[in-house]
C-alpha cells in the first residue's frame, strides 16, 4: 500500500483573465496559498503554458515546472480534455465544439481533428520531458447522439463508431507508449467512453493497449446511477488518475437522469463542492489506499451553488483530511508469536511427516 499524493487542484475551472488566475506565476502562488501541493494543468490554455515550447524543449519544461515548485506546488499531470474531445466529433456538435479550436480551423472538421491529434501528442511529449506518468483526456464521441436506442439503432452503427474511434486513437496511444505515459480517459457523459461497458468496447478495439487507462471521477457515476465503489473494484488496475468531485442525485416525479433540460441548479443530478454532495469519499479513499493507487487526489471544482474560491480552499482541506497515511505494519504485530517454519509444522501436526 502507499499513501495518496495530494491535495492537487485541476486549474481548468480557475484560469481566467483576472489576477491571480491569468498567469502561471500568479495562479501557482494562489493554489499553494489555498493549501494545495500540486496542480493539474490544461495545456490548451496559453495563459498557463506554451505547449509548442513544452513539446520542443525539456529545458523550457524544467524551468516552467521549477517556477511552480518555487511557488509551493508541483505539476501533477497535464490535461488534454478539450483537445481529446476534438479527436472525434459527431457533426451534430461541430458548431459547439468549434469553440475549442483555433479560429482558422472552425468549420473544417477534418483539419480540426488533425490539429487535435497533434495537440495530444505534443502534450504526451511534454509529459515525458517532465517525467510525468499519465495524462488526462476525453475520448471524443461519434456515437453519443445515439445513446438512447430510439429510434431503433441500425445494426452495426455503434460498432462502426467504436471502430473509427479506436482507429483515430491507436496512433496516439502508440506515441504514449513511446513516451512512457498513460492516457487516462475521463469516463464522462458526452464522450463515447462514458461507462465501464463503453470503455471495454474501446479497449478491445485497441488491442487492450497498456496505455489506454482511466481517470476516475465518481461524480459522473452518481449522475448516471452507476455504482462508483464497485467500479473501483472492477477497473482498479486501469485507473491512473483521480478527480475528487462531489455530486448529488435527487430524482423526483418530474425529473431523473436526463434532467428535463433544466439548468444545473434545477436538475436532479448536480455537481457540488466537496462535502456538500452524497459521495462516500471515506470509502473511496480507503479503497484507493488498499489498491495501492499510485497517483494524486486532484480536486476538480464544479458546483452550481458555491463560489469557486471558497470551494477551492475548502477542497484542499477536505482532501487532506481524507488522505489515509497508510500503515507500515499490522496493528496486531505486538502479539506476534515469532514462530518459524519448524514451529509452524509442529502447530499443524506435521512434525516428522
Mean pLDDT score of the chain: 96
User: Which segment of 11-15, 73-77, 181-185, 290-294 scores lowest on mean pLDDT?
Assistant: 290-294
Q: Is pLDDT at 334 greater than 70 in this prediction?
A: no
The residues with which 244 forms a beta bridge, in sequence order, are 299
More confident residue, 211 or 335: 211
Residue spans per domain, the chain: 5-347
More confident residue, 212 or 337: 212
pTM: 0.95
Give the tens place of pLDDT for each residue, 168-195. Answer: 999 999 999 999 999 999 999 999 999 9
Q: Is pLDDT at 310 greater than 70 in this prediction?
A: yes
Give the tens place of pLDDT for each residue, 235-250. Answer: 999 999 999 999 999 9
Instruction: Indicate the pLDDT class of residue 335, thresholds 50, 70 and 90.
Output: low
* 229 in Cβ contact with 290 (< 8 Å): no
Q: How far apart are CA 348 and CA 77, in angstroms?
A: 52
Q: Is pLDDT at 1 greater than 90 in this prediction?
A: no
Q: Is pLDDT at 264 greater than 70 in this prediction?
A: yes
Give the tens place of pLDDT for each residue, 59-99. Answer: 999 999 999 999 999 999 999 999 999 999 999 999 999 99
pLDDT (0 to 100) of residue 353: 66
- Tell me the torsion sign for CA atoms 166, 171, 176, 177: positive
Residue 289's closest CA among 297, 280, 301, 278? Answer: 297
pLDDT (0 to 100) of residue 332: 66
Q: How far apart are CA 139 and CA 80, in angstroms?
A: 10
Residue 190's closest CA among 100, 284, 306? Answer: 100
Q: How far apart are CA 192 and CA 188, in angstroms?
A: 8
pLDDT (0 to 100) of residue 110: 98
pLDDT (0 to 100) of residue 138: 98
Query: Could you count the other beta carbons within 10 Å of the beta carbon of residue 230?
Result: 11
Instruction: Indicate the pLDDT class of residue 119, thresholds 50, 70 and 90.
Output: very high
Residues in the chain: 353
**Per CATH, which fold does 5-347 belong to?**
TIM Barrel (3.20.20)
Q: How far apart are CA 84 and CA 284, in angstroms?
A: 27
pLDDT (0 to 100) of residue 340: 84
- What is the average pLDDT across 23-37? 98
* 108 in Cβ contact with 166 (< 8 Å): no
Amino acid at each position: 500500500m502507499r499513501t495518496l499524493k495530494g491535495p492537487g487542484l485541476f486549474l481548468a475551472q480557475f484560469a481566467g483573465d483576472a489576477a491571480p488566475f491569468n498567469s502561471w506565476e500568479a495562479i501557482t502562488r494562489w493554489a499553494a496559498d489555498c493549501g494545495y501541493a500540486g496542480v493539474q494543468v490544461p495545456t490548451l490554455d496559453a495563459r498557463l503554458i506554451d505547449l509548442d515550447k513544452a513539446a520542443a524543449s525539456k529545458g523550457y519544461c524544467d524551468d516552467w515546472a521549477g517556477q511552480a515548485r518555487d511557488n509551493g506546488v508541483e505539476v501533477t499531470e497535464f490535461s488534454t480534455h478539450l483537445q481529446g474531445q476534438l479527436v472525434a466529433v459527431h457533426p451534430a456538435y461541430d458548431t459547439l465544439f468549434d469553440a475549442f479550436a483555433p479560429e482558422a480551423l472552425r468549420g473544417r472538421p477534418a483539419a480540426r481533428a488533425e490539429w487535435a491529434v497533434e495537440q495530444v501528442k505534443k502534450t504526451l511529449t511534454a509529459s515525458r520531458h517532465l517525467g510525468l506518468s499519465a495524462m488526462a483526456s476525453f475520448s471524443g464521441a461519434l456515437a453519443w447522439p445515439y445513446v438512447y436506442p430510439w429510434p431503433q439503432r441500425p445494426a452495426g452503427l455503434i460498432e462502426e463508431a467504436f471502430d473509427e474511434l479506436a482507429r483515430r486513437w491507436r496512433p496516439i496511444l502508440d506515441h504514449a507508449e513511446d513516451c512512457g505515459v498513460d492516457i487516462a480517459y475521463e469516463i464522462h457523459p458526452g464522450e463515447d467512453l462514458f461507462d465501464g461497458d463503453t470503455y471495454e468496447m474501446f479497449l478491445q478495439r485497441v488491442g487492450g493497449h497498456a496505455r489506454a487507462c482511466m481517470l476516475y471521477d465518481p461524480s459522473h457515476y452518481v449522475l448516471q446511477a452507476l455504482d462508483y465503489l464497485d467500479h473501483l473494484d472492477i477497473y482498479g488496475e486501469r485507473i491512473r488518475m483521480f478527480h475528487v468531485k462531489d455530486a448529488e442525485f435527487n430524482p423526483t416525479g418530474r425529473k431523473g437522469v436526463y434532467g428535463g433540460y433544466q439548468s444545473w441548479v434545477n436538475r436532479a443530478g448536480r455537481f457540488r463542492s466537496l462535502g456538500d454532495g452524497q459521495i462516500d469519499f471515506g470509502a473511496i479513499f480507503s479503497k484507493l489506499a488498499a489498491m495501492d493507487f499510485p497517483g494524486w487526489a486532484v480536486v476538480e471544482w464544479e458546483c452550481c451553488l458555491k463560489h469557486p474560491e471558497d470551494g477551492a480552499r475548502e477542497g484542499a482541506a477536505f482532501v487532506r483530511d481524507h488522505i489515509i497515511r497508510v500503515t507500515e505494519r499490522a496493528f496486531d504485530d505486538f502479539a506476534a508469536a515469532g514462530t518459524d517454519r519448524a514451529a509452524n509444522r509442529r502447530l499443524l501436526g506435521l512434525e516428522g511427516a
